[in-house]
Every structure is written in C-alpha cells, then in structure tokens.
A and B are shown apart, each in its own frame.
Chain A
C-alpha cells in the first residue's frame, strides 16, 4: 500500500532534501568566513536574475536533460550507464564530422544531420559495453567508465591528427560555417527589439531536449518496447518467462541511452562552441546520474532536476566570479544536493512516511467503520 500521497512523494521529499542541502551548504560557507545569505542572493541573481543568467542556466540544463534522460532510460532496464560523458564526447565528434565536411545549405538541415550523427555516434559508443554486458556478462559500470577514458583519448587523437586546421596550436577543429549557427534565445530577443547579451548560450537545442523528454515518456509508458524495458528492469526472471529477450533489451536500452547522451553534442558543439573543442562535455555526463536520481527516472522529473542543476552551475560560476568563494565550493554544494536527493533519500522519506502513517491512523481511528484494504503478505 502506498503510504504517502503522490504529491508528498514527488514534491515534498525532494524539496526537503534540497532544503537540507542548502542548510549544510550555508554552514560550509559560514565556516570559510563568507556570508551565506549574500552568496545565495548572488547565485540567484546570477542564474535567474537576468536574461543572460537565464540563458546560461537553460544552456546547462539542456545538457543535463540529455544526459539525465540517458541515465534514466538505462535505469529503467536496471543498467547503470556511467558512460554518458564518453557518449556525449562521441556525439560531439559526430556533430563536428557532419558539419565540417558537408556544405549544408541551411542550419535546419544541418541540425537534422547533426542530430542523426550525434545520436548514432553516442549509441555506437554505448553498443560495445551493452554487447559485452548482454553476451559476456562484463559489468556495464566498469566498461562504460573505461569507455569514457577511451573516448577522451580518441577525441584528442582525432583533433590533433585530423580535425585541427593546419598550423593551429589549439587542439580544436575549424569553426563551422556561420550560416549553420543555431538560433539562440538572445538572438531571438534581439530580433524582437529586446536588449539582451550577445552570448551564444541557450539555443534551439533546448527544444530538441524537451522533445526528447516527451519522446522518452511516450517510449517508456506507451510503447511495447518501453513496456519490455521496464519489465526487464524490474525482474529479469519474469521477463524471461514472458518471452522478453534479455540480450535484445539490454542492447536496445543502451543504444537509446547512448544516443540521448550523444545528442548533448548538438548543444555544446553546434550550439555553443560552433567548433569541436576538447572537454566540451565538462562533466555533464556525470551530472546526468544525479539528475536521473533526483528526477526519479521520469522525464518530467529529469527536466525539472536538470533546470535545478543548470541553476547551480550558472549560479556557481557567478559566485566564483564575484566573491572570494572558490569555485570548488560549488562542487561541494552540488555534491550536497546529490547526496541529499539521491543517496540520503530515505533519511527524509522514512520520517515523512511515519508522519503520514500516524495521521492516517488518527483519521481511521476517528471513523472506525471504514474497512481497511485487505493486507498484502
């Protein structure tokens, strides 16, 4: 029997967890001799206080939606895809290859090509660990982590050997054709006559990310494939009984997961840098794990959690810029959020459940004629 009403489960538990993380963060800021209130207002101001702030918050959120969805899809098949980072790197490589060598006439067509390549490259990078897991039982956590390192090395090699313009010292590809630049929020606002900054931050990829979230929702809860993935994730023995092929589900779920992570490449490579640079992923692949945990592997939860983490990222950058609070503190704050929303989930959940139970008992005691539902074993 569900002990808590759904709203408490979905809203109250994460909210209290966040509050706890905020309190501990405040204590840490106090401990290093800074003012937590001032720091908090600076973060809020920097992340959502201006169009520029919003632009970057949503830009980061776009990355986290992709990687969060990637981890969430794998979670549903009880696969822990830690390789989002590497898959996103490969996705970026796919984007660069698509845009450097084909003269696309318009950014829309370029975007479609980039999307296809990003997804294909990301999926390909997940395929090998998936196959090894399904056929050989090699643990997917180990293999996907290793593939992150391989991806990183591959990217350096590709940039240095093939993609770097001749004579350049910078391990980065040439800039893509300017007519392939993706429309940004700032550009759109400027065309409306509203003054905004010139940063290439949030762009049309954000909409692609939202579309992916809807797509994942449809896939998981409306299609037979999603049904099979979830069934397999809940119980492999039952899945076998039902005639669900474990090899197929493992591979397909990981392909989808890798593809989603790869799509992040559109945002960073095509949208922001407009060329392929080293380390464009900036750890977003790992943040995706926290986002999926906090979002309970549901696309809506993932989107909300991604925006929260986007806020932390952007607010944190501002904090480092304007105060003597070191940038590392932001990592501490993010870690606290992950700790409380992910790892220490039960610390908040259990007392809450007990509270709801107690109030329910009191209500039931008040009207004893109501027959309880037959107890489960």
Chain B
C-alpha cells in the first residue's frame, strides 16, 4: 500500500430497491488514518451505502477500491478479508456468551475452542492495551453495560484485523460521558493509523471528531468538505436542502394549574420486575416537562400507564380527578375521553397501522368519536375529509388520504400521528421520541407544533433519549434512572454533563466520576438500556 492511496475509494456506486433509488452515483475517497463522517437524514441512503461496502447488498453499478486495489465485496466475509470491520447500531452479540466467546465467534481457528480462546485472550489484552479498550473477557454480554458491549463490537472488528472501521450511529445508546469515551477511543485508533467511517445524524459529533465529512441527501452525495472548513449550520442546510432553524424558538413558559399529578406510581412487568419504583411527578398547564434518561429506564412504562395500556399502582390525577390504573376505565379509549392524547414512542409499532391508509390512521384510537360515525356504521367520508384538512394543516407530503402509512417517509408518518393527537385539543399531551427517525426539516416543524400547544396552555409530558431535544423543548427536566426520578432540573441551570450523570443514577453531580463508575451503575440498573433504540 502506498501512503498516498486512499484507504477506501468508492466510484459511482448506485443501488435501487424497487422504485426507490437508495444510492445514486456516489463517490468518496477516505485517506488512511482519518475519521470520515457521513451525515444525512433518515432514508438518505447512508446505511445502504455502508451495507454495500460490507457486502450485504450488491451495488447495481460502481466500483470499490480498498488501499488502491479494485475489490469485489460479494459478502461480509470478503469485507472482513479486505480489512473492513462494522459496528452496527443494533449490536450483533450473543447475550448469553462471554465477551471472549463473542469475539472469536465466526473466527475460531479449529474444531476445538480452547486454543482459539487462549489465543483470543492474549490478543484481546494486547488490543485493549494498545487502544484503551477496556473490557472484561469473562463477563457475560447480558451482564455488561451498553458502552462495554459497543467496545466488544469494536474489538471483534479489530481482532479480525480490520484497518477500516465503520460505525453506524454509535452514540444512540450512550450517555454523554460514554460517548466522550468512545470518541477518545476513536481518536486513539486514528492515531494508530486506522481509518474510521462514522455514520450519524448528529451534527455535533461530526464537528467534534471527524476530519472530513460527506453529506447525503435523497440517495445522492451532495458535498464532501473538510470539517474544519464548515459549520453545523452549513451542514444542516446541505442535508435538508434549505435553511433550517437549529434552535427551538420559544418564549418562557407561563405554568398554570397542575394538570397531571403522579404520586408513588409503580409498575411491575410480566416477569415480576419492577419497572417503575415509585414515581412522583407533576405537569402544569402551559409547560413542557421533559423526561431524560437512557432508554429502558422506565420512561416507556410511564407513558404506557398514562396512555392506558399498562397497569400500575399508586395514584395519578388529571385536573384533580383520579385516573383508573387497573380497572375497566384503565384503557386507551377511557384515557382519550379524559383528554389525554398520546404520540407514542414507536409510531410504526403503536402509533400507526402501517398497512392502513392515512385516513384510516387518522381515526385510529378515535374511531368511536361521534364525528366519525353514521348510525351503526363508520362515517368513512367524514374521516377522509378530516384527514385531508389535517394533512394540509400539518403539511403532510404527499397529501393523499388514501395512501398507506408505510408509503410515507418517517417524518410524514410522525406528522400524521401528531396531527391526529394535537388536533384533539387535549388537556395533556404525551409525546415519546417525537423526532426519532425524522428528518431535520420535519423536526423543526414538529418542535414548533409542540411549543404551540404549550402556548395554548396545555400540559405536555415529553420523553426523549435525545438530550439535545430535551434541553431545547423542556421548561422543566426530570431525569429517570432504573424506574425512579433521580432529580428535576431547570434547563437554564443544568447542562448535558450533569444530566448525563443523573441518567447514570449518580446524584452528587458536583464531584468528578469515572466512566467506569457510570458504566457499572448503568449495567446494574434493572432496565434494559439496549431496548429498542
């Protein structure tokens, strides 16, 4: 390999899935020993491109050069042989195997395991030393935290002699402190001559760690620039294709009466594990209360109890009247009648029926509503008309009520849900992960709608794993860890660092804490931090 040859070069890569052109004539060069960011909205084609590089898909056209050599990558074995390692967003680890067993999985030397394990243990220690990748070789995957699981994934790639590492949205499951540690590791890998491709939708990560960055939009590569010569604003514009507001524009809240009052709420799941261990929380009219936390620490259960499809004990009152938590009135229909609207965390599993048309989804949950009925029949014409109005008001594209939900982009699907829930004019709006899998352009719009509802004097309970979103939207922040509220903060008086410590269950936030301590805490929390992120 000559020193001037790029580590990876793609020339004219194209790939179509049916009618969708996922990648269109994409070319990039990544020099060895650099970190190259690929940023783009959901559905821009980032993951497709990396899947082609890793041999999961075959490109319709184009060439791949590794270290200057033209290389065919028909499958992932070929990718590994070419020195490419991939760390997926959803880890591919065997939960009940040890770290060491996972590392050699698929790379065993012979029929007998013992020599492979011994060899792996030796090289694992060496790799850990070289790159600062601390893991416990004999711990079971299910017992260690997400941060360490991710390091196992990186070690897996390095053990297979990867020179090029691809990381797909690596910080989605990490607390800020863990993310910082990951970036330190990546920096170290770079200085040891490894080449890293970082796929992300977070502008800040790109600015912090990459040397060069490529922007993708609608399957095309719109620009490749040196990170030092660009700005978040410019990158956002390149991603979306127009100017975007990165900050949420809002006036200070004018909180009124207490709308939602939760006292000592507990939830036990089917396995008998306590998911909520006594939650006390208030939301007032005209304020947004944001719940921060690593996914799986009870936020979902909190929304589910309030939304009426999980049972709990304790007391919840809405406008002074108590809510039924276990009986006949504890279902979603009763909650809606009481004035609670709910934008669920997972719109594809809960908020929408993907095979239903948009108009059918607009009635979803409200199909008993008088406006939607004609005698014993459903008034389909009325629902369609209502859908058309809502689509226009929420700028859903394309505005076709008869199009199936699955044929809309993520952002437009979310707008359909949001339109349905916000337009009911609820007293309390529950919002889970409002902008997950949503493009930047739509994020701006969705945030504006939430703030507008707040300004009408409605109470809003927001759950998000994106700290930036919590900080931008909330008037008050409650941090959840292991089924408890660890503390409440005002956004003006806190920062990501402090919230990050609370998210790891550490309340004495004034003292310095090691990443190891944070990880140990998270690993021992009852919640499954890895759940559905």
Residues of A within 8 A of B (CB): 1, 3, 218, 221-224, 227-228, 230-231, 234-235, 237-238, 240-245, 353, 357, 360, 372-377
Enumerate 25 A-B pairs (CB-CB under 8 Å) in ascending A order. A3-B19, A218-B377, A223-B376, A227-B360, A231-B353, A231-B364, A234-B355, A234-B356, A235-B349, A235-B350, A235-B354, A237-B349, A238-B351, A238-B353, A241-B309, A241-B365, A242-B332, A242-B333, A242-B365, A242-B367, A243-B308, A243-B365, A357-B19, A375-B20, A376-B406
Which of B91-99, B181-189, B407-415, B473-481 binds A? B407-415
A353 to B333, CA, bound (A): 41
Is the pair B365, A1 in contact by a Cβ cutoff of 8 Å? no
Which residue of B has the minimal Cβ distance to A218? B377
Given the complex, which residues of A lie within 8 Å of B309, measured CB to CB?
A: 240-241, 243
Is there an interface contact between A1 and B331, defined as CB atoms closer than 8 Å? no
Q: Is the CB of A222 within 8 A of B356?
A: no
Q: Which residues of A contact B363 (CB under 8 A)?
A: 227
Candidate in A3, A231, A375 with the most chain B CB atoms within 10 angstroms: A375
Q: What is the chain A residue whose CB lies nearest that of B42?
A: A377
What is B's interface to A at a CB cutoff of 8 Å?
Answer: 18-22, 42-43, 218-219, 307-309, 331-336, 342, 344, 346, 349-356, 360, 363-365, 367-368, 373, 376-378, 380, 397-398, 406-410, 412, 437
Kindly list chain B residues whose C-beta atoms are within 8 Å of the C-beta of A245.
331
Q: Are A241 and B368 in contact (CB under 8 A)?
A: no
A353, B376: Cα distance in complex, Å: 39
Of the residues B42, B353, B367, B380, contact of A235 by C-beta under 8 Å: B353
Q: Assess whether A375 is in contact with B21, with CB atoms less than 8 Å apart.
A: yes
**Would A375 and B218 be within 8 Å (CB), given that A235-B353, A238-B349, A243-B334 are in contact?**
yes
CB distance from A236 to the nearest CB of B (A): 10
A372 touching B19, Cβ below 8 Å: yes
| Complex contacts, A241 vs chain B, CB 8 Å | 307, 309, 332, 342, 344, 350-351, 365
With a CB–CB cut-off of 8 A, which chain A residues contact B367?
224, 227-228, 242
Task: Please judge, given known A-B contacts A222-B380, A243-B335, whether A231 and B356 are in contact too, CB under 8 Å.
Answer: yes
Q: Which of B353, B364, B409 contacts A377 (CB 8 A)?
A: B409
A1→B373 contact, CB < 8 A: no
Min CB gap A223→B, angstroms: 6
Contact B398 A373 (CB under 8 A): yes
Interchain CA distance A222-B332 in the complex, whole Å = 22
Q: How distant is B366 from chain A, measured CB to nearest CB, in Å?
A: 8
Q: What's the Cα separation between A231 and B362 when bound, in Å? A: 13
What 4 A-B pairs are tightest by C-beta distance, nearest first?
A243-B332, A243-B333, A242-B365, A377-B43
| Chain A residues, CB < 8 A from B21 | 375
CB distance from B197 to the nearest CB of A (A): 21
**From residue B241, how far is it (CB to closest CB) to chain A in Å?**
12
Task: Decide yes or no: A1 and B19 within 8 Å by CB, A222-B378, A231-B364 being known contacts.
Answer: yes
Name the residue in A222, A231, A353 with the highest tally of chain B Cβ atoms < 10 Å from its Cβ. A231
Task: Give the chain B neighbours of A3 by CB distance below 8 A.
Answer: 18-19
What chain A residues lie within 8 Å of B342 (beta carbons)?
A: 241
**CB nearest to B333 among chain A residues:** A243
For B354, list chain A residues within 8 Å (CB).
Answer: 234-235
The docked-state distance in angstroms from the alpha carbon of A230 to that of B412 is: 23
Q: Across the interface, name the chain A residue whose C-beta is closest to B344.
A: A241
- Residues in B whose Cβ lies below 8 Å from that of A357: 18-19
CB-CB < 8 A to A221: which residues of B? 380
In the complex formed, the residue of B with least CB distance to A377 is: B43
B440 to chain A, nearest CB (A): 15
Of all chain A residues, the one with the shortest Cβ separation from B43 is A377
Nearest-neighbor residue (CB-CB) of A242 within chain B: B365
Interchain CB contact under 8 A, B407 and A223: no
Contacts of B331 in A (CB 8 A): 243, 245
In the complex, how many angstroms separate the beta carbon of A217 from the nearest chain B beta carbon? 12
Q: Which residues of B contact A240 (CB under 8 A)?
A: 309, 332, 350
Whether A1 lies near B344 (C-beta < 8 A) is no
Q: Which of B19, B350, B373 gathers most chain A CB within 10 Å?
A: B19
B394 to chain A, nearest CB (A): 15
Contact yes or no, A376 B20, CB < 8 A? yes
Q: How far is the CB of A68 from chain B (nearest CB, A)?
A: 22
Give Cα A35 to B299, complex, Å.
70
User: A354 — nearest CB in chain B belongs to which residue?
Assistant: B18
Taken together as a complex, chains A and B put the C-alpha atoms of A349 and B364 apart, in Å, by: 31
User: How far is B21's CA from A372's CA once the two chains are assembled, in angstroms?
Assistant: 10
CA distance A243 to B307 in the complex (A): 9
Residues of B within 8 A of A230 (CB): 353, 356
Q: Is the CB of A224 within 8 A of B380?
A: no
B409: which of A227, A231, A242, A374 is its contact (CB, 8 Å)?
A: A374
Closest to B379 in A: A222
